[in-house]
A = this chain, B = another copy of it.
Amino acid sequence: MTDQMRRITLARRPQGMPVPQDFALDTAPLPNPAEGEVLVAVEWLSLDPYMRGRMDDVRSYAPSVGLGEVMTGQGTGRVLASRAPGFAAGDQVTGITGWASHAVLPAPGLRKLDAGLPPSTALGVLGMPGFTAWTGLREYGRPKAGETLVVGAATGPVGSLVGQLARAAGLRTVAVAGGPEKCRLATETFGFDAAIDHRAHDDASSLRKALAQAAPDGVDIYWENVGGKTLEAVLPLMNTHGRIPVCGTIAWYGGADGAQDRLPMAWRAILVKRLHVHGFIIFDHWQHFPEFLADMAPKVAAGEIAFLEDVADGLENAPEAFIGLLQGRNRGKQLVRV
């Protein structure tokens, strides 16, 4: 058994797309597990898009990797030595090993793997990406049979499961993927009803035409993995009351498309802050109007609610008052005394 471990560290912070020189490979003495810890020989390491964010020195939903520190990541491996109850040498486990050949981890951060399944599945279809697809579709996608779902990065571990789960729920599923091979995989391996090659479309407008053909009844769920051109193409195709689980914006991870475009900033804020953005039109809610009136009319009558009215006199002055309203010239509710 070696007494050295190999590790990949963050050598410098990338500018846009990472390059090999942003990483360094080094060796370090193999650490010994303390009480309650386990030494693991890493066999499989997961690479995931979220790691790009950890390489930046900006506040996100998780701490950055420090310069010179081992890149973060989940792995699987065999236990070499255990000082924790419940784990023994030879056990197959998964945990946040980092990009390294070995890791010493506290027992609560480890999970033993089902011996009946390949360990690598714990990093993909039965791991964080699979769980992401399952949770986001159930919680935020809320699929209904007969609806249409579009997903970008459709052959990736999240997108491919989103598509299969949605299809099993009775939805028409449309994949967006890069290149003919991935499009073939999307339909043949993952069972998507249609697949669009975004590389065959130079701009969002052309991609939108292809998507509109593949989704003739519009789009009820757009699963957002990518942002960029695909988002721009899909948005005008969304049906009323559509849902957009925002899971990633990989098209923008290497930097935004231009300082004039505020969409990447907004979409990144929605993702990182887990925001819930709800468009709504009051006419959809009219059945609750009597409840509103029963609650508020007594308060208004009692003078407990302040309100302001701006009055324009005469129907002929309605256009000027309306223009003033759009320009913010009114202070309160704009009325016309006809």
Partner of A244, one of B246, B265, B278: B278
Question: Which B residues are CB-close (under 8 A) to A236?
Answer: 265, 269
Verify if A146 is at the interface (C-beta below 8 Å from B): no
Are A326 and B254 in touch, CB under 8 angstroms?
A: yes
A267-311 vs B: 1/0 string, CB under 8 Å? Answer: 101111111111111111100110011011100110001111100
Question: Which B residues are CB-close (under 8 A) to A29?
Answer: none
Q: How far is the CA of A51 from the CA of B337 in the complex (A)?
A: 18
Q: How far is the CA of A52 from the CA of B322 in the complex (A)?
A: 9
Verify if A172 is at the interface (C-beta below 8 Å from B): no
**Shortest distance from the beta carbon of A13 to any chain B beta carbon, whole Å:** 14
Question: Which B residues are CB-close (under 8 A) to A202?
Answer: none
Residue ID in chain B nearest A114 by CB atoms: B297
Verify if A128 is at the interface (C-beta below 8 Å from B): yes
Partner of A280, one of B75, B99, B274: B274
Secondary structure at the A interface, as helix, strand, loop or mixed, is: mixed
Question: Which B residues are CB-close (under 8 A) to A4?
Answer: none
Verify if A181 is at the interface (C-beta below 8 Å from B): yes
Question: Which B residues are CB-close (under 8 A) to A101?
Answer: 315, 338
Question: Which B residues are CB-close (under 8 A) to A335?
Answer: 44-47, 120, 123-124
Question: Which B residues are CB-close (under 8 A) to A108?
Answer: none
Question: Which B residues are CB-close (under 8 A) to A216?
Answer: none
Please choose the segment from A30-38, A83-91, A150-158 that sits at the chain B interface, where 4 or more of its residues have CB less than 8 A away: A150-158
Verify if A247 is at the interface (C-beta below 8 Å from B): yes
Are B280 and A189 in touch, CB under 8 angstroms?
A: no
Verify if A144 is at the interface (C-beta below 8 Å from B): no
Are B331 and A182 in touch, CB under 8 angstroms?
A: yes
Residue in A8, A139, A181 with the greatest tally of chain B CB atoms within 10 Å: A8
Residue ID in chain B nearest A190 by CB atoms: B306
Question: Which B residues are CB-close (under 8 A) to A267?
Answer: 266
Are A240 and B273 in touch, CB under 8 angstroms?
A: yes
Are B273 and A338 in touch, CB under 8 angstroms?
A: no
Question: Which B residues are CB-close (under 8 A) to A276?
Answer: 140, 241-244, 276-279
Question: Which B residues are CB-close (under 8 A) to A316?
Answer: 6, 8, 25
16 A-B pairs besides A25-B315, A131-B285, A132-B282 with CB distance below 8 A are: A18-B322, A20-B319, A44-B335, A47-B336, A99-B315, A117-B301, A123-B333, A124-B307, A155-B331, A185-B331, A190-B306, A235-B265, A244-B277, A258-B260, A261-B263, A275-B278
- What are the 3 A-B residue pairs with the smallest beta carbon separation, nearest first? A124-B333, A260-B260, A157-B333
Contact sample, A vs B, 17 pairs, CB 8 Å cutoff: A6-B316, A18-B322, A43-B337, A44-B337, A47-B318, A125-B305, A126-B293, A129-B333, A131-B285, A140-B278, A160-B332, A161-B307, A185-B308, A235-B266, A243-B276, A243-B278, A263-B265
